[in-house]
Structure 1
């Protein structure tokens, strides 16, 4: 949709949970979510734009000519577009998602952004693993939290094995606090942020119920232990906002 006066694109507004849902069901990344996803994450994830800028900066410092850069759980391609302006066009981008609707939206956005570099969009279920090869950068932006806990270690090990020496994994996650005493406060601040972004109490409540069995967060320390167990020798937090964090891990 385009604003005919200014010529600017208008993103469809996220009203997915605005009406009362009679029978709750698990959250799914189908066509309805894909259509409003960009608005959803911008209003639901704190400092999402800054987070994307930081991912692009980190990726640019570690992307190597002749290698691949992976965005695992690429959704509508926002991270790929952010990295595109900072990384040499000779480096291939590979976006992976299990939602065909998300990948369709992603491809449309990449075309609109004038992508000139080589890229592939692959439909794959990260729960069962995905082949990573000749990679200098892999990104998991708000993705690992949707992978079943039993499958997370296998996925991280596969990423580690597919990274070249010196390659990095950039991980952004919703988290639990290290001290459970603070969990309730941090969640309250998070929902306050959603209210500031014009989500109603019904929307907040219904989305929480839909995500309850789908999004399973870990503590930052638990994520770092998994990264080290997978083989990463250096891990560092680069972003923190209450119950969200960003971690970069390097393969030596």
Structure 2
């Protein structure tokens, strides 16, 4: 397995800030970045895998939207029946190339497809029993989120499952400042400097737009999902599982 390169993307002072992009510079360090930036990331991935394993149906597809470097699919592979195929979709060609390498290095033998697509556009999903959006929907512009979820709902088989993990806002804005402080304290414990934290926050400001947990659940229910349940919560991060009627 290739070694994980340390995230130094925002380590040096940047004279002119630009919006965060999943380009080659981020792809190289993505695995380190997400593990040091998302609280309980390993446990979230384990929970997603066991939820998917219980709800994936024989001879169907499991979709990972915003699959990045393939960590979720590698976790799924050990638990999901081998008669189920995977489809990983990401906008970044660089991410998909690294994902393919990681899946092969992990020894994945099941059929899988990696597809480049912008989730802001039309999304083709067919014969899906599980669709995963792990820290992906938050990067879609709000005006496109409902359409994306409608496409997912349409492509899921009856009884299909959506697993959604998102960065969120507090229900009561009075707690937002506290939750953000705790989150930045978490990043400092993972050896991110104040400069790195502030520069990444500025880069993400117009790119990652979080909703409240209740707003995400409302969106899911509005497009037809039932039985929405929160399976993970840490200050300003949450995981939701929802079923198609």
TM-score (norm 2): 0.99
Q: What is the SS of the residue equivalent to 2:191?
A: coil
Report how far residue 9 of structure 1 moved. 4.7
Instruction: Identify the residue that residue 242 of structure 1 maps to in structure 2.
Output: 235
Instruction: Identify the residue that residue 35 of structure 2 maps to in structure 1.
Output: 42
Instruction: Identify the residue that residue 25 of structure 1 maps to in structure 2.
Output: 18
Q: C-alpha offsets along residues 159-201 of structure 1, whole Å, 9 cap, x if unaligned? A: 0010001110000000000000000000000000000000001
User: Using the alignment, how far apart are the partners of 2:181 and 2:89 within structure 1?
Assistant: 33
Q: C-alpha offsets along residues 25-68 of structure 1, whole Å, 9 cap, x if unaligned? A: 00000111011000000000000000000000000000011100
User: Using the alignment, how far apart are the partners of 1:10 and 1:91 within structure 2?
Assistant: 29
Instruction: Identify the residue that residue 226 of structure 1 maps to in structure 2.
Output: 219
1:11 to 4, 24, 27: 4
Q: What is the SS of the residue equivalent to 1:56?
A: helix
Q: Which sections of structure 2, spanning at least 5 residues, go unmatched?
A: none
User: Using the alignment, how far apart are the partners of 1:49 and 1:29 within structure 2?
Assistant: 21
RMSD: 0.7
Instruction: Identify the residue that residue 135 of structure 1 maps to in structure 2.
Output: 128
2:183 to 187, 190, 213: 190
User: Using the alignment, how far apart are the partners of 2:142 and 2:212 within structure 1?
Assistant: 13
Q: What is the SS of the residue equivalent to 2:232?
A: strand
Q: Does 1:96 align with 2:89?
A: yes
The list of structure 1 runs, each at least 4 consecutive aligned residues, that deviate by more than 6 angstroms after superposition, is none
Q: What is the SS of the residue equivalent to 2:241?
A: strand
User: Using the alignment, how far apart are the partners of 1:233 and 1:85 within structure 2?
Assistant: 28
Matches within 5 A, 1:51-70: 51-70=44-63
1:75 to 47, 50, 68: 68
Q: What is the SS of the residue equivalent to 1:115?
A: coil
Q: Which sections of structure 1, spanning at least 5 residues, go unmatched?
A: 1-7
Matched residue pairs, number? Answer: 245
User: Using the alignment, how far apart are the partners of 2:122 and 2:149 within structure 1?
Assistant: 9
Report how far residue 129 of structure 1 moved. 3.0
Instruction: Identify the residue that residue 158 of structure 1 maps to in structure 2.
Output: 151
Instruction: Identify the residue that residue 251 of structure 1 maps to in structure 2.
Output: 244
